[in-house]
Structure 1
Amino acid sequence: MSDQLTSWARAVAESELAEPLPRRWAHTQGVADRAGHLEGVLGDRAGLLVSAAVLHDVGYAPRLAATGFHPLDGARFLRDVHGADGRLTRLVANHSFALLEAEERGLRDELEAEFPLLENQFLVDALVWCDMTTTPHGSPTTAEARVAEILGRYGAESLVGRFIRRAAPEIFAAVARVKAELVAQPR
C-alpha cells in the first residue's frame, strides 16, 4: 500500500509542480529524498511520510492557489479532488508549523477546523526535518541556514518573515528531536 501511495503522490506532485514551478519541484524532490532517510526510524509510517514530503508544497501550483496559503490549498486539493487519506492531508496542511503562518494570514481557525494536527508528534517533526533541512534547489542544508534563507528571500517584516521568526524555535526543536532519533537508531 505505501508503494502505491508514494507512486501516486509523486505523480500528482510532478504533474502540478514540475512544469510551472521547476525550482519548487526540485525542493519537493529533495524533501522526499530526505524522508527516505527516515525509513529506519519510522517503519510502516515511512510511506506516509514520503508521500507527505512529496506533496507538502503542491498547494503552490498556480491552478490550486485559492487562498494563497499553500498548506491549506494543497490539503484541500488532495482531499476534495483526490479523496486522499486524512492523515496525509493533515500532514500537508500542517507541515512546518503552518498553524503559525495561518494565524498571520487570519486562516488559523479554518486550518484547525478542517485539518487538525496529527497526534503523532514524531511524524509531524519528521516532515519538519525533511522540509527545513532542504534548500529551495533540493540539496540538504541545516535548519538554521534554511530559516536564514527564507528570511533573506521574503524579508524579516513580511508575513512569511514574521511567521518564520516565530516558528524558528519550534523548527529547531523538531529538527533536534529527529536528529536524536537518527543518532539512537542502530546502524
Structure 2
Amino acid sequence: MGTDQLMNGAMAKWAYAVAEAELSDPLPLRWAHSQGVAQRAAEVAAVLRGNAELLASAALLHDVGYAPRLAMTGFHPLDGARFLRDIHAADDRLVRLVANHSLALLEAEERGLRDVLEVEFPLLDDQRLVDALIYCDMTTTPDGKVTSVEARLAEITVRYGSDSLVGRFIRRAAPDVLAAVGRVDTALADQPR
C-alpha cells in the first residue's frame, strides 16, 4: 500500500492536516521527520491487518506535542496526546499510540511523569501496532530520510548528549527499540512477495 493510498482515508487526511498546521511553520524539520515516518508506515502496512491507516495517522501526529503552542509539560508524547484528546476528541487508539510512541513510558519515568502517562493513556495491547510505530520512528532521520535503527539511536544520543535525560532514556530504551524493529523486520520478511 502506497503513501498516497493510505492518505486517502478520513483519519489520515485529518491527521495530515493537523500535523501540518501545528508543525510545518514553527518546526519544519520536525514536520519533515513526521512525513518520513508516515512514508515508512506505508512500507509496513501489509503486516498490520487493517490498522494501516491508524499507523499512518499516528506516524503523522507522533511528534505534534513538540509544537510550541502545545508544549505544556515539555514532554511531547503527553502534550500531543492531550491536545489530540482534549481539542480534537481523536480516536482513543490513535491518542494512546501518540502518547506511548517509541517507548515513551521509559522517558516519562525519567521525567517523573510515568504514572500520569500510564493513567491517562494506557499502552495498547496490540504489540504489532506498537512495534510498527517504533519501527517507523526509529528508522527515520530527523529530516525524514530512511536510516538504520542503530544510526538513529546513535544520532539521538549525540544530539541530546549521553548524560542528558533523553540520553539516559534512549540508552535504557535501546534494547526494546532494537527488539521491536527486529520483530517488524521479521514480519516484513515473512510477507509473500
Deviation at 1:17, TM superposition (A): 0.1
| Cα deviation code 1:83-122 (max 9, x no counterpart) | 0011000000000000000000000000000000000000
> In structure 2, how many angstroms separate the alpha carbons of the residues matched to 1:43 and 1:116?
22
Deviation at 1:59, TM superposition (A): 0.2
Q: What secondary structure, in the 3-state scheme, does the structure 1 residue paired with 2:181 have?
A: helix
- Kindly report structure 1 stretches of 4+ aligned residues shifted beyond 2 Å: none
Q: Would you say 1:65 and 2:68 are equivalent positions?
A: no
> In structure 1, how many angstroms separate the alpha carbons of the residues matched to 2:112 and 2:46?
38
1:76-115 to structure 2, matched below 5 A, reads: 76-115=82-121
Number of aligned pairs? 187
Q: Would you say 1:43 and 2:49 are equivalent positions?
A: yes
Q: What secondary structure, in the 3-state scheme, does the structure 1 residue paired with 2:48 have?
A: helix
Q: Would you say 1:162 and 2:182 are equivalent positions?
A: no
Q: What secondary structure, in the 3-state scheme, does the structure 1 residue paired with 2:49 have?
A: helix
| Root-mean-square deviation over aligned CA pairs | 1.0
Q: Tell me the equivalent position of 2:37.
A: 31
Deviation at 1:43, TM superposition (A): 3.0
Determine what percentage of the aligned residue pairs are the same residue. Answer: 70
Equivalent AA in structure 1 for residue 164 of structure 2: S
For residue 120 of structure 1, the aligned residue among 126, 143, 164 is 126
| Cα deviation code 1:17-49 (max 9, x no counterpart) | 000000000000000000011121113100000
> In structure 2, how many angstroms separate the alpha carbons of the residues matched to 1:20 and 1:33?
22
> In structure 1, how many angstroms separate the alpha carbons of the residues matched to 2:83 and 2:44?
26
| TM norm structure 2 | 0.96
> In structure 1, how many angstroms separate the alpha carbons of the residues matched to 2:45 and 2:140?
17
| TM norm structure 1 | 0.99
1:164-183 to structure 2, matched below 5 A, reads: 164-183=170-189
> In structure 2, how many angstroms separate the alpha carbons of the residues matched to 1:26 and 1:175?
21
> In structure 2, how many angstroms separate the alpha carbons of the residues matched to 1:100 and 1:164?
9
> In structure 2, how many angstroms separate the alpha carbons of the residues matched to 1:142 and 1:165?
16
| Cα deviation code 1:39-73 (max 9, x no counterpart) | 21113100000000000000000000000000000
> In structure 1, how many angstroms separate the alpha carbons of the residues matched to 2:157 and 2:74?
19
1:139-150 to structure 2, matched below 5 A, reads: 139-150=145-156
